[in-house]
């Protein structure tokens, strides 16, 4: 550990754990735990412009802490608790849950394991550039504001409402999720629950379209799929389209970000594209002048500030009479509770001053 960090109360305690405790403030330093130490705990700490690049954390726990302008590029989180319910290995009493905030932080090529517990966490103006964000379900309380996402984002849930059981302790009945830019992202199996999609920026055609009145659109295109000669294709299309309509109604006021994959992943590509073209062929399709084309995911200069002046992608209204069946051209997720982080159990319960 560097002398600079030692002077700022980053202290090594038992069992090879580094703990930043109780109002600790660290500024403009390289975070470098001693050799062999891979578990860290931040308890009501504030870190400003701290360099975490390339570090591997077997355990990373943040409780009621702030990270401002920190760089986590190339870091590996094996079992993180980004907005933990507490520290010290005690069973959570459900009475308090202070929020941990990551503000203006960089997560470039950062690996988040599927065991990531987001918890009561807020990301403001952070950049997730080619980070490994996959198989993330413990995101029910996470807030994202003015963040930028680039590269592959797979199998993740974003929530506009925290779980009912947690709303009292959180002091809110909704999560802030606004101003986020996904135009450079490749989205696959990404679910937005109770989120205003019009308040985000998404990639546009030909790969994506933000659409309203999904239920009416699905009703309009189902007869086209029902005319296909292959029963397997008919069933796949019907299942996928009805699922799309059901989730859009339940989650986002009958709106959805739609891609060809949503038409039926087992369909031949030509049929997926045919349905995708049909379902977006109305006046409420994504307007070309409002959707920014996806940028190359190889860029390293992504910044929320550089995107803030651009208009948000939006869906306009559409009358039911404007959606008509088209003729076929056939042939061509419950977040888990707070984890039992075993590495916390051996920590001293006294604050490190």
The residue with tokens 């450079």 is: 184
Indicate whether 331 belongs to any domain: no
Q: Are residues 151 and 42 in the same domain?
A: yes
What angle (nearest 5°) sits at the alpha carbon of residue 234, between those of residues 233 and 240? 90
Q: Are residues 22 and 156 in the same domain?
A: yes
Indicate whether 342 belongs to any domain: no
- Among residues 284, 305, 329, which one ends one of the domains? 284
Give CA 248 to chain center in angstroms: 18
Q: Are residues 78 and 223 in the same domain?
A: no
Q: Are residues 277 and 135 in the same domain?
A: no
Q: How far apart are CA 64 and CA 85, in angstroms?
A: 9
Q: Are residues 124 and 259 in the same domain?
A: no
Q: Are residues 157 and 218 in the same domain?
A: no
**What does the DSSP 8-state code read for residue 267?**
S
Q: Are residues 256 and 223 in the same domain?
A: yes
Indicate whether 289 belongs to any domain: no
Strand partners, 42: 20, 62
Q: Are residues 197 and 245 in the same domain?
A: no
* Residues 6+ away with beta carbon under 8 Å from 55: 31, 33, 75, 76
Q: Please, what's the b/e burial string for 221-252 (b: 16 or more CB within 10 A of its CB; e: otherwise)?
A: bbebbeebeeeebbebbeebbeebbebbeebb
Indicate whether 44 belongs to any domain: yes
Total structural domains in the chain? 2
Q: Are residues 114 and 243 in the same domain?
A: no
Q: Are residues 196 and 237 in the same domain?
A: no
Indicate whether 326 belongs to any domain: no
Structural domain range at position 176: 9-88+97-203
* Residues 6+ away with beta carbon under 8 Å from 28: 48, 49, 50
Strands (E), 39-160: 39-43, 46-48, 56-57, 59-63, 66-68, 76-77, 80-81, 100-103, 106-108, 111-112, 121-124, 127-129, 132-136, 143-145, 148-159
CB neighbourhood size of 37 (10 A) = 16
What are the two backbone dihedrals, phi and then psi, of residue 218, each rounded to the nearest 5 degrees? Answer: -65, -45
- Among residues 269, 284, 299, which one ends one of the domains? 284
- Among residues 242, 265, 284, which one ends one of the domains? 284
- Strands 209-211 vs 256-258: parallel, antiparallel or unpaired: antiparallel
Taking only the tens of pLDDT, the chain with its 353 residues reads 343 343 333 433 333 445 555 455 566 689 988 888 889 999 999 999 999 999 999 999 999 999 999 999 999 999 999 999 888 766 777 788 999 999 999 999 999 998 889 999 999 999 999 998 887 777 899 999 999 999 999 989 999 999 999 999 999 999 999 999 999 999 988 999 999 999 999 999 899 999 999 999 999 999 999 999 999 999 999 999 999 999 999 999 999 999 999 999 999 999 999 999 999 985 444 433 333 333 333 333 455 444 333 333 333 333 333 333 333 333 322 223 333 332 222 222 222 22
Contact 208, 175 (CB under 8 A): no
What angle (nearest 5°) sits at the alpha carbon of residue 31, between those of residues 78 and 16? 60
CA atoms within 13 A on the CB side of 93: 4
Q: Are residues 157 and 265 in the same domain?
A: no
Indicate whether 297 belongs to any domain: no
Q: Are residues 175 and 42 in the same domain?
A: yes
């Amino acid at each position: 550990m560097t002398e600079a960090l030692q002077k700022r109360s980053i202290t090594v305690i038992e069992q090879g754990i580094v703990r930043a405790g109780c109002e600790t403030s660290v500024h403009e330093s390289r975070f470098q735990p001693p050799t062999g130490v891979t578990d860290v705990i931040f308890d009501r700490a504030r870190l400003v412009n701290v360099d975490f690049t390339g570090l591997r954390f077997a355990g990373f726990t943040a409780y009621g802490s702030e990270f401002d302008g920190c760089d986590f590029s190339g870091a590996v989180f094996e079992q993180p608790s980004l907005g933990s319910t507490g520290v010290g290995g005690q069973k959570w009493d459900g009475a308090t849950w202070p929020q941990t905030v990551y503000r203006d932080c960089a997560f470039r090529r950062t690996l988040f394991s599927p065991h990531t517990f987001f918890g009561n966490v807020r990301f403001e103006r952070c950049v997730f550039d080619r980070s490994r964000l996959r198989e993330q379900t413990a995101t029910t309380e996470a807030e994202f504001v003015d963040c930028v996402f680039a590269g592959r984002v797979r199998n993740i849930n974003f929530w506009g409402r925290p779980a009912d059981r947690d709303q009292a302790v959180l002091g809110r009945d909704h999560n802030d999720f606004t101003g986020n830019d996904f135009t450079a992202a490749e989205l696959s199996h990404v679910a937005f629950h109770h989120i205003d999609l019009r308040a985000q920026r998404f990639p546009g055609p030909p790969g994506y379209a933000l659409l309203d009145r999904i239920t009416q659109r699905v009703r309009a295109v189902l007869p086209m799929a029902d005319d296909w000669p292959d029963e397997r294709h008919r069933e796949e299309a019907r299942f996928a389209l009805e699922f799309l309509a059901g989730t859009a109604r339940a989650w986002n006021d009958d709106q959805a970000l739609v891609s060809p994959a949503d038409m039926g992943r087992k369909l031949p590509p030509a049929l997926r594209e045919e349905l995708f073209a049909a379902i977006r062929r109305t006046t409420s399709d994504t307007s070309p002048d409002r959707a920014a084309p996806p940028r190359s995911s190889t860029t390293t200069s992504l910044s929320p500030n550089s995107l803030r002046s651009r208009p948000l992608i939006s869906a306009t209204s559409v009358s039911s009479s404007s959606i008509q069946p088209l003729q076929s051209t056939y042939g061509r997720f419950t977040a888990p509770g707070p984890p039992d982080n075993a590495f916390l159990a051996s920590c001293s319960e006294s604050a490190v001053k």
